[in-house]
C-alpha cells in the first residue's frame, strides 16, 4: 500500500505553491529594483538617503531617509524633481559624465558633493552610485550619507552641553556665594533686633515688641532658607565618594540621631532587612534623614506615626520605600514638592524650608536613581527612591 504521505504530497504542494503565488504581497508602487521584498525593506529602513534616477536624472524613487533629508513631503513630490535640481550648476557637467560611466558599468569611488535641500540649505554629502535595473530600464541608484551635518550636529550638541554645564556651574557658584554672603547681614539684623529687645525693651510698648519679634523671626527664617540654599548649591560641587554601605546600620544611625523629636512626636519606626548599596554615605544619610524626618513631621495630629523603611530589588536597582500614615499629599502636588522651596504648609503649622525633598532628589539623581511619591490625603505617603545595583 502506498504510504499515505505520497498520495497527497503532490496536490498539497501544488496547492501550497499556488496559494503562495495568489496571496503574495504585491510589490508596492513603484516597482523597486529587482522587485525583491527583502531588498525593498533594506532600502526603506536604510539610514542612508537612497535615490534611484533615470539616465536623464529624473527621480524615480527616493527612500524615506532621502525624503527626510531633502524635505520632500511624499515620494510623488520627490518624483517631480530631477537629481540635477539638487546639484549646484557647476557640478552638472561632472555629474552627467559620472552617470554615463556608471551606466557603462564603471565603479566610481565615493565622492563628497554639495547638494541643495528643498528649503534652500546647502549641505555636503558622501555619494556613491551604482547601476540598477528599474522597471526593466537601466537606472542609477545613489546612496547619500549625511555624515557631515550629523557630525556637525553632534559637535554642536556637545558644545551646547558644555555651555549648559558651564552656565549651570556659574549659577550654582552665584547662588552659593549669594547664600553665603547674605548670611552675614541677616545675622546682624537678628543680633541687633535681639539686643534692642534686651537693652531697650523695657521702654517699648506692646506693638514695638511685636515688631521686633517679627524682625527676629523673619531674620531667623531667612537664615534657615539661606543655609539650605547654600547646602543645595554645594551638592553638585561635592565629589561623590562611593562606598559599600549597609543601609540597616545607616537607617539605625539616622533614627538614633532624630531620637529626641521622635519621642516628642510619638512615632514607631520599623524596617525590613535592608541591602548593602554603593553610594556616598554622607549624602545617602541626608536622604534617609529628610524622608524619615518628614514622615514624622507630617504625622496626623493625636496619632502615633507608623513609619516603615523597606527595600526590594527590581530590574538591577534597589527600590527603597519610606511609608507613613500621616496627613498625605494631594496628587496635584506630587511634582511640585520636589522643587526648591516648594511646600504645602506655612512654617507656623509645620516647620521647614521646603528644601529637603529637592536636596534628596539631587542626591539620588547624582547616584543615577529616581525619587517619587505615592500618596493619598489623610491616608499617608510612600516616598520611593532607587539606587542602581553596582
CB of 65 to ligand ADP, least distance (A): 48
Instruction: Please report whether residue 63 would count as binding ligand ADP according to CB under 6 A.
Output: no
d(CA 106, CA 279): 62
CA 376 from chain center: how many Å?
27
What are the distances in angstroms from CA 215 to CA 46, 194, 196, 208, 350?
69, 9, 11, 11, 20
Nearer to ligand ADP, 220 or 344 (CB): 344
Among 50, 102, 251, 357, the residue binding ligand ADP under the rule CB under 6 A is: 357
Q: Is 45 helix (H, G, I), strand (E, B) or coil?
A: coil
* C-alpha dihedral sign at 65, 71, 73, 78: negative
Contact range with ligand ADP by CB under 6 A, out of 86-94, 126-134, 188-196, 289-297: 289-297
Check residue 269 for interaction with ligand ADP (CB under 6 A).
no
Q: Of these, 345, 365, 376, 379, which contacts ligand ADP (CB under 6 A)?
A: 345
Count residues contacting ligand ADP (CB under 6 A)?
A: 21
By CB under 6 A, residue 289 contacts ligand ADP:
no
Query: For residue 125, which phi and psi values (nearest 5 degrees)?
Result: -130, 155
Instruction: Please check whether residue 316 is in contact with residue 335, taking contact to mean a CB–CB distance below 8 angstroms.
Output: no
Using CB under 6 A, pick the residue from 223, 343, 366, 370 that binds ligand ADP.
343
**What is the distance between the alpha carbons of residues 275 and 317, in angstroms, rounded to a whole number?**
11
Does 298 engage in binding with ligand ADP (CB under 6 A)? Answer: yes
CB-closest chain residue to ligand ADP: 352
How many residues are recorded in the chain?
A: 390
Is position 305 an interface residue for ligand ADP (rule: CB under 6 A)? no
* Residue 142 found at the interface with ligand ADP (CB under 6 A): no
Q: Are 64 and 167 in contact (CB under 8 A)?
A: no
By CB under 6 A, is residue 344 in contact with ligand ADP?
Answer: yes
Q: Which of 72, 146, 280, 324 binds ligand ADP (CB under 6 A)?
A: 324
- Here the cell at position 301 is 495630629
When asked if residue 262 is in the footprint of ligand ADP (CB under 6 A), the reply is: no
Q: CA 288 to CA 253: how far, in whole Å?
A: 10
CB of 327 vs ligand ADP, minimal distance in Å? 5
Should residue 327 be labelled a site residue for ligand ADP when binding is judged by CB under 6 A? yes
Please state, in angstroms and rounded to a whole number, the distance separating the CA atoms of residues 253 and 273.
Answer: 15
- Name the residues that contact ligand ADP, by CB under 6 A: 290, 294-295, 298, 324, 326-329, 337, 343-345, 352-358, 381
Amino acid at each position: 500500500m502506498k504510504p499515505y504521505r505520497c498520495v497527497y504530497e503532490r496536490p498539497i504542494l501544488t496547492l501550497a505553491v499556488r496559494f503562495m503565488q495568489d496571496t503574495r504581497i504585491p510589490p508596492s508602487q513603484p516597482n523597486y529594483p529587482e522587485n525583491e521584498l527583502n531588498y525593498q525593506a533594506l532600502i526603506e529602513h536604510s539610514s542612508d538617503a537612497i535615490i534611484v534616477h533615470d539616465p536623464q536624472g529624473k527621480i524615480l524613487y527616493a527612500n524615506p531617509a532621502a525624503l527626510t533629508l531633502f524635505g520632500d513631503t511624499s515620494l510623488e513630490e520627490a518624483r517631480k524633481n530631477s537629481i540635477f535640481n539638487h546639484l549646484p550648476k557647476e557640478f552638472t557637467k561632472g555629474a552627467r559624465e559620472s552617470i554615463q560611466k556608471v551606466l557603462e558599468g564603471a565603479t566610481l569611488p565615493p565622492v563628497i558633493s554639495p547638494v541643495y535641500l528643498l528649503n534652500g540649505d546647502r549641505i555636503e554629502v558622501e555619494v556613491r552610485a551604482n547601476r540598477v535595473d528599474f522597471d526593466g530600464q537601466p537606472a542609477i541608484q545613489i546612496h547619500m550619507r549625511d555624515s557631515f551635518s550629523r557630525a556637525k550636529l553632534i559637535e554642536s550638541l556637545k558644545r551646547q552641553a558644555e555651555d549648559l554645564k558651564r552656565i549651570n556651574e556659574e549659577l550654582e557658584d552665584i547662588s552659593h556665594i549669594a547664600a553665603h554672603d547674605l548670611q552675614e547681614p541677616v545675622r546682624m539684623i537678628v543680633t541687633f533686633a535681639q539686643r534692642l529687645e534686651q537693652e531697650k525693651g523695657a521702654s517699648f510698648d506692646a506693638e514695638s515688641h511685636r515688631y521686633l519679634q517679627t524682625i527676629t523671626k523673619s531674620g531667623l527664617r531667612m537664615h534657615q532658607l539661606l543655609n539650605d540654599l547654600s547646602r543645595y548649591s554645594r551638592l553638585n560641587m561635592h565629589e561623590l565618594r562611593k562606598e559599600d554601605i549597609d543601609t540597616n546600620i545607616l537607617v539605625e544611625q539616622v533614627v538614633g540621631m532624630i531620637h529626641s523629636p521622635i519621642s516628642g512626636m510619638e512615632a514607631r519606626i520599623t524596617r525590613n532587612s535592608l541591602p548593602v548599596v554603593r553610594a556616598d554615605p554622607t549624602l545617602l544619610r541626608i536622604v534617609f534623614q529628610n524622608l524619615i524626618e518628614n514622615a514624622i513631621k507630617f504625622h496626623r495630629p493625636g496619632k502615633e506615626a507608623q513609619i516603615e523603611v523597606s527595600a526590594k530589588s527590581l530590574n538591577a536597582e534597589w527600590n527603597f520605600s519610606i511609608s507613613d500614615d500621616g496627613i498625605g499629599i494631594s496628587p496635584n502636588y506630587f511634582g511640585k514638592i520636589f522643587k526648591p522651596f516648594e511646600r504645602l504648609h506655612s512654617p507656623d503649622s509645620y516647620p521647614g524650608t521646603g528644601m529637603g525633598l529637592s536636596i534628596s532628589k539631587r542626591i539620588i539623581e547624582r547616584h543615577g536613581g529616581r525619587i517619587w511619591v505615592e500618596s493619598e490625603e489623610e491616608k499617608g505617603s510612600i516616598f520611593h527612591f532607587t539606587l542602581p545595583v553596582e
